[in-house]
């Protein structure tokens, strides 16, 4: 029993790492321009396919693949911001939300057009498939890599935001865009950076998603997008540590729900996710680490 | 130094500035007074580039011997680097940042590291409390301290012209005295000030010259003393019967 719970906890850690990475971008974008970005999950899909393409195309070392996937995600984020969201800047919040819905549909259908809707096997190199056992917990190298990469990236991000001049500008912009402008901060660059970082992390989460589940298709972004939304809201939208916390909490909760209850309930896991969301919001309307935010520009 | 010529501006669909003209000379303190909704805040916003005027011109000359530039269409961040610093209404500190970070972000566009350090010292001499609380989050400061921080932050960009929007709002009278004394001192050290105030009595006392705004237009102007003695101003803004 102890071994079983340990295994479930490890699974929760892996799942939570992916949710947290996606939730960070979601929360950063909302924090700065108050945009509920429905298309964020589709970057996960793009990251998964870019990874698959890179793995198939030859002997590219794993660390290089990670970097390329992050860059591809970041580039997609920048393009989407420029093409779709910047022209909508200043419009009511609901306009941004609908725009993001349109972007999401566009990306999914582009995916179907270029790659067909047929799920593809995600090809993971053998050296990432090696299974090893820690006590009663068994892990693949890739699972370990997922957790380590996620933690490294998150530590890096937290340090960037807390201790650099750029991070200071990002925090200031997220809190008060107008006054940030008066300080001479180039708002457009900060917004672009938020999209780049958030989408880069979502891209790498796509790599993890593919490696974890073994199959990918152009519609796979929906689930991680939704979970990231929930994780970000649980943590307090706009708060980066909140998104991380929310992601891991959600990962653990989901795995424990499926693992500890009789199997007939396991198909209700997504309903369960929303029950947690509602319960937390009833007690803490601004999420665990959130603070009150006025609707932005 | 600053000349606003027949500025017309809209906020959304509302016609807010209906031809505002005013002038600020080097090393002056100029007050802009008027009732709520007259367009004082909007006037400052068109100067700092937050709001674009539809018609009219805004001209700025940072120093008496510098060339005059038309800043009507210049982006806000460039206006900051040219030497205009705008303290918006309502003590808007970055409450998630600590006091020190708030001051540093005031110098965001500057590259002269050593001069920034000495300006930090200068600001802390003006407002010792800011130095004492440097690690504290700005959100935890009292209203008066936040006002000092907002002024200190604005000074960190080394402005030639400081635009202040209602610094006395919501502060106890004693604190207002302190703040106004600081403004006098800052002005004496070479910074020109354009001061928007509802507290007309103190503003007219402090300012060399002043303008009165009503519904989007400048209706009166003169020296601080002239306006303080003006019958209409006394009735409308100084509570005289
Ligand atoms: N966000 C806004 N939306 C619509 N109208 C506004 C807004 N802000 C200001 N106004 C209008 O602009 C006018 C001038 O406002 P403002 O410049 O803030 O005046 P003041 O600073 O003198 O009180 C007001 O009468 C108000 O009706
Ligand atoms: Mg005002």
Q: What is the mean pLDDT of residues B131-143?
A: 93
- Which of B4, B18, B37 has most ligand 1 atoms within 8 Å of its beta carbon, as the pocket-test mutant? B37
**Pairing state between β B209-214 and B217-223:** antiparallel
Unique residue bearing structure tokens 């779709």 = A84
CA dist A94 to A33, A49, A190, A229, B119, Å?
12, 30, 22, 16, 44
Q: Which helix (H) or strand (E) holds B123?
A: helix B113-126
3-state SS class at B75:
coil
Q: How confident is the model at residue A285 (pLDDT cuts 50, 70, 90)?
A: confident
Specify the pLDDT at position A290: 80
| Alpha carbon nearest to ligand 1 atom 6, residue | B11
Chain B contacts to A (CB-CB under 8 A): 48, 50, 76-77, 80-81, 85-86, 88, 92, 94-97, 101, 104-106, 108-109, 153, 157
Specify the pTM.
0.90
CA dist B223 to B59, B96, B190, B212, B229, Å?
22, 41, 20, 11, 10
Q: How confident is the model at residue A275 (pLDDT cuts 50, 70, 90)?
A: confident
Domain boundaries, chain B: 2-94+158-237
- How far apart, in whole angstroms, are the C-alpha atoms of residue B83 and residue B61? 9
| Alpha carbon nearest to ligand 1 atom 1, residue | B11
Ligand 1 atom closest to the Cα of residue B89 is 21
| Res. A297: pLDDT tops 50 | no
Specify the pLDDT at position A296: 45
Tokens of residue A12, six digits: 């929760």
Please indicate whether residue B37, judged by its CB atom, sits closer than 6 Å to ligand 1: yes
What is the whole-number distance in angstroms between the Cα of residue B33 and the centre of ligand 2? 10
At how many degrees (to 10) do helices A222-235 and A2-33 cross? 80
Please indicate whether residue B197, judged by its CB atom, sits closer than 6 Å to ligand 1: no
Q: What is the mean pLDDT of residues B84-109?
A: 94
| Res. B241: pLDDT tops 60 | no
**Higher per-residue pLDDT: A265 or A278:** A278
Which residues in chain A touch residue B46, judged by CB atoms under 8 angstroms apart?
none
Instruction: Give A128-169 pLDDT, tens digit per residue.
Output: 888 888 888 888 888 999 999 999 999 999 999 999 999 999
Tokens of residue A125, six digits: 């190199």
Instruction: Give A174-207 pLDDT, tens digit per residue.
Output: 999 999 999 999 999 999 999 999 999 999 999 9
Mean pLDDT of the residues in chain A:
91
Beta-carbon contacts of A28 under 8 Å, excluding residues fewer than 6 positions away, are A174, A194, A197, A198, A240
Q: Is B88's CB within 8 Å of A185's CB?
A: no
pLDDT above 70 coverage of chain B, percent? 99
Specify the pLDDT at position A162: 93
Unique residue bearing structure tokens 């106004």 = B180
Q: Check: CB of residue A225 under 8 Å from CB of residue A66.
A: no
Specify the pLDDT at position A294: 54
> Terminus-to-terminus CA distance in chain A, angstroms?
52
Superfamily of domain B2-94+158-237: P-loop containing nucleotide triphosphate hydrolases (3.40.50.300)
Please indicate whether residue B34, judged by its CB atom, sits closer than 6 Å to ligand 1: yes
Specify the pLDDT at position A293: 60
Instruction: Give A64-107 pLDDT, tens digit per residue.
Output: 999 999 999 999 999 999 999 999 988 888 999 999 999 999 99
Q: In the β-sheet with B29-34, what is the strand arrangement from edge to edge?
A: B84-87, B161-165, B192-197, B29-34, B209-214, B217-223
Please indicate whether residue B42, judged by its CB atom, sits closer than 6 Å to ligand 1: yes
- How far apart, in whole angstroms, are the C-alpha atoms of residue B119 and residue A191? 30
Q: What is the mean pLDDT of residues B13-30?
A: 94
Among the bound ligands, the one closest to the CA of B88: 2
Torsion of CA A74, A75, A76, A82, to 10 degrees: 110
| Range with the poorest average pLDDT among A119-133, A235-249, B35-49, B84-98 | A119-133
Specify the pLDDT at position A74: 98
Which residues in chain A touch residue B153, judged by CB atoms under 8 angstroms apart?
183
- A171 inside 8 A of chain B by CB: yes
C-alpha distance from A11 to closest chain B C-alpha (Å): 35
- Exposed / middle / buried, residue A135 (Cβ in 10 Å: 0-12, 13-18, 19+): exposed
- A185 inside 8 A of chain B by CB: yes
Domain boundaries, chain A: 17-219
| Range with the poorest average pLDDT among A106-115, A118-127, B33-42 | A118-127
Minimum Cα–Cα distance from B110: chain A residue? A184
Instruction: Give B188-209 pLDDT, tens digit per residue.
Output: 999 999 999 988 888 999 999 9
Q: Check: CB of residue A207 under 8 Å from CB of residue A49.
A: no
ipTM of the complex: 0.91
- How far apart, in whole angstroms, are the C-alpha atoms of residue A229 and residue A276? 13
- What is the number of residues in chain A? 297
């Amino acid at each position: 029993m102890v071994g079983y719970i340990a295994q479930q906890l490890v699974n929760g850690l892996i799942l939570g790492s992916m949710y947290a990475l996606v939730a960070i971008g979601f929360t950063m974008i909302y924090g700065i321009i108050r945009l509920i970005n429905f298309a964020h999950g589709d970057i996960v899909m793009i990251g998964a396919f870019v990874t698959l393409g890179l793995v198939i195309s030859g002997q590219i070392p794993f660390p290089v693949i990670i970097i390329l996937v992050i860059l591809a995600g970041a580039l997609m984020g920048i393009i989407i911001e420029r093409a779709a969201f910047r022209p909508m800047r200043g419009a009511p919040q609901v306009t941004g939300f609908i725009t993001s819905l349109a972007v999401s549909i566009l990306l999914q259908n582009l995916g179907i057009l270029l790659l067909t809707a047929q799920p593809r096997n995600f090809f993971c190199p053998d050296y990432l498939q090696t299974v090893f056992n820690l006590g009663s917990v068994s892990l693949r190298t890739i699972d370990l890599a997922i957790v380590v990469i996620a933690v490294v990236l998150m530590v890096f991000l937290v340090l960037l935001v807390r201790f650099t001049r750029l991070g200071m500008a990002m925090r200031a912009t997220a809190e008060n865009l107008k006054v940030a402008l008066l300080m001479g901060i180039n708002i457009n660059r900060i917004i672009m950076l938020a999209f780049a970082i958030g989408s880069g992390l979502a891209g790498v989460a796509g790599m993890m998603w593919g490696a974890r589940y073994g199959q990918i298709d152009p519609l796979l972004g929906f689930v991680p997008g939704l979970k990231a939304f929930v994780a970000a809201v649980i943590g307090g939208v706009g708060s980066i540590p909140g998104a991380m916390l929310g992601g891991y909490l959600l990962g653990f909760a989901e795995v424990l729900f499926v693992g500890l209850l009789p199997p007939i309930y396991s198909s209700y896991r997504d309903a369960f996710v929303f029950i947690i969301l509602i319960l937390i919001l009833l007690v803490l309307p601004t999420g665990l680490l959130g603070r009150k935010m006025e609707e932005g520009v | 130094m600053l000349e606003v010529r027949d500025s017309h501006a809209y906020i959304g669909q509302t016609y807010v500035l209906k031809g505002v003209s005013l002038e600020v000379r080097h090393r002056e303190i100029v007050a802009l007074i008027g009732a709520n909704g007259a367009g004082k805040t909007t006037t400052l916003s068109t100067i700092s580039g937050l709001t674009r005027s539809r018609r009219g011109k805004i001209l700025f000359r940072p120093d008496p011997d510098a060339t005059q530039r038309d800043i009507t269409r210049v982006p806000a961040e460039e206006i900051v680097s040219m030497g205009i610093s705008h303290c918006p209404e309502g003590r808007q500190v970055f409450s998630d940042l600590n006091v020190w970070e708030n001051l540093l972000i005031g110098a965001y566009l500057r590259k002269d590291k050593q001069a920034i350090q000495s300006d930090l010292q200068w600001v802390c001499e003006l407002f010792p409390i800011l130095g004492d609380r440097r690690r504290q989050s700005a959100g935890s400061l009292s209203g008066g301290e936040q006002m000092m921080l907002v002024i200190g932050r604005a000074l960190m960009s080394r402005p030639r012209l400081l635009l202040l929007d209602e610094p006395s709002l919501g502060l106890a009278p004693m604190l207002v005295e302190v703040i106004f004394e600081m403004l006098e001192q800052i002005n004496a050290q070479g910074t020109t000030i354009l001061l928007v105030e509802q507290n007309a009595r103190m503003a007219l006392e402090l300012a060399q010259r002043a303008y009165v705004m009503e519904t989007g237009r400048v209706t009166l102007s003169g020296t601080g003393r002239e306006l303080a003695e003006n019958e209409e101003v006394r009735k409308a803004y100084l509570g005289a019967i």
